[in-house]
């Protein structure tokens, strides 16, 4: 079946602009995660959604970052007033129920802030 | 101490040899452990998960967990050039399944 999809695949923006990144999880998966991977770095947890529960936002690096998940499916990660240090690959993953369930990753959005 | 630590490598092994990838973790990461493989420019894919002390084998891959010493390893037998990738070790904190990743070890399998 279809895997996790993300759009856009690449995004180039100017410093100070806002960007929106989209994630479509695997159908039926209740858990959705956002991670960030900078060059030469491991994956950094950003935010976690599980069903209708309040999201775990503990990984968001600043208040310029926010995310929402509408209807328990599609999620949007928004970065306001982008900075050069926001340049990274933003990865979305979903799992069936969270917990120890396998997380399946999307192809990522490569963000470059000039 | 970082929560999950790995040697960045590269680890170079000849084709057919055993590749041994290691990962140590802090007290905060204590429940479940995962090994992901990431090819250059691609997203991570799960190779193995391990939750209990001891060994877990799946084909050419064996994951080993030692909770007393706080390390987890991945052995790849009969290494192939297609195994050349970055291997990410991840652990969860037991709550909300948030994974903490190491920076990854780059493996190069040479002909």
Chain A partners of B102 at a C-beta cutoff of 8 Å? 42
Cα(B79)–Cα(B92) distance, integer angstroms: 28
Q: Which residues of A touch B88 (CB under 8 A)?
A: 42-43
Which one, of B34, B50, B53, B49, lies nearest residue B104 by Cα? B34
A20-24, Cβ contacts within 8 angstroms, sequence gap of 24 or more: A20/A76, A20/A77, A20/A78, A21/A76, A21/A77, A21/A78, A21/A79, A21/A90, A21/A109, A21/A111, A22/A74, A22/A75, A22/A76, A23/A74, A23/A75, A23/A76, A23/A77, A23/A92, A23/A94, A23/A106, A24/A73, A24/A74, A24/A106
CB-based contact B101 A42, cutoff 8 Å: yes
Structure tokens at B74: 């991945």
| Weakest-pLDDT range from A13-22, A88-97, B72-81, B87-96 | B87-96
Flag whether pLDDT at B1 surpasses 70: no
Average pLDDT estimate for A1-30:
94
How far is CA B106 from each of CA B6, B83, B109, rounded to the nearest angstrom?
10, 10, 10
Q: What is the pLDDT of residue B108?
A: 97
Share of chain B above pLDDT 90, in %: 68
Q: Look at residue B96 and tell me whether its pLDDT is greater than 60.
A: no
Instruction: Give the closest-approach CA distance of A99 to chain B in angstroms.
Output: 5
**Residue B2 pLDDT exceeds 80:** no
Question: What are the phi and psi torsion angles at A5 (to 5°)?
Answer: -120, 150
Query: What confidence tens digit (pLDDT) does each residue in A44-54 have?
Result: 999 999 888 88
Picking from B8, B9, B40, B43 by the largest number of A CB atoms within 10 A of its own CB, the best residue to mutate is B43
Please judge whether A44 and B101 are an interchain contact, meaning their C-beta atoms are less than 8 angstroms apart: yes
**pLDDT level of residue B95 (50, 70, 90 thresholds):** low
Q: Is the pLDDT of residue B94 over 70?
A: no
Contact B49 A100 (CB under 8 A): yes
The pair phi, psi for residue B103, each rounded to 5°, is -80, -10
């Amino acid at each position: 079946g279809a895997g996790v999809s993300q759009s856009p695949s690449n995004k180039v923006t100017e410093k100070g602009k806002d960007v929106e990144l989209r994630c479509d999880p695997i159908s039926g998966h209740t858990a959705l995660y956002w991670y960030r991977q900078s060059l030469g770095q491991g994956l950094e947890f950003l935010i976690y959604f599980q069903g209708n529960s309040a999201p775990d936002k503990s990984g968001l690096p600043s208040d310029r970052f926010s995310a929402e998940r509408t209807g328990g499916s599609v999620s949007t990660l928004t970065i306001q007033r982008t900075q050069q240090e926001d340049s990274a690959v933003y990865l979305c993953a979903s799992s069936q129920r969270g917990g120890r369930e396998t997380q399946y990753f999307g192809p990522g959005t490569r963000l470059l802030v000039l | 101490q970082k929560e999950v630590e790995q040697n960045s490598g590269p680890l170079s092994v000849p084709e057919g040899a055993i590749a041994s990838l290691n990962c140590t973790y802090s007290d905060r990461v204590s429940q479940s452990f995962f090994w992901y493989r990431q090819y250059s420019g691609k997203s991570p894919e799960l190779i193995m998960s391990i939750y209990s002390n001891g060994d877990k084998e799946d084909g050419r891959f064996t994951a080993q967990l030692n909770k007393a010493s706080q390390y987890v390893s991945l052995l790849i037998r009969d290494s192939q050039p297609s195994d050349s990738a970055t291997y990410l070790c991840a652990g969860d904190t037991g709550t909300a399944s948030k994974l903490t990743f190491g920076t990854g070890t780059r493996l190069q399998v040479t002909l």
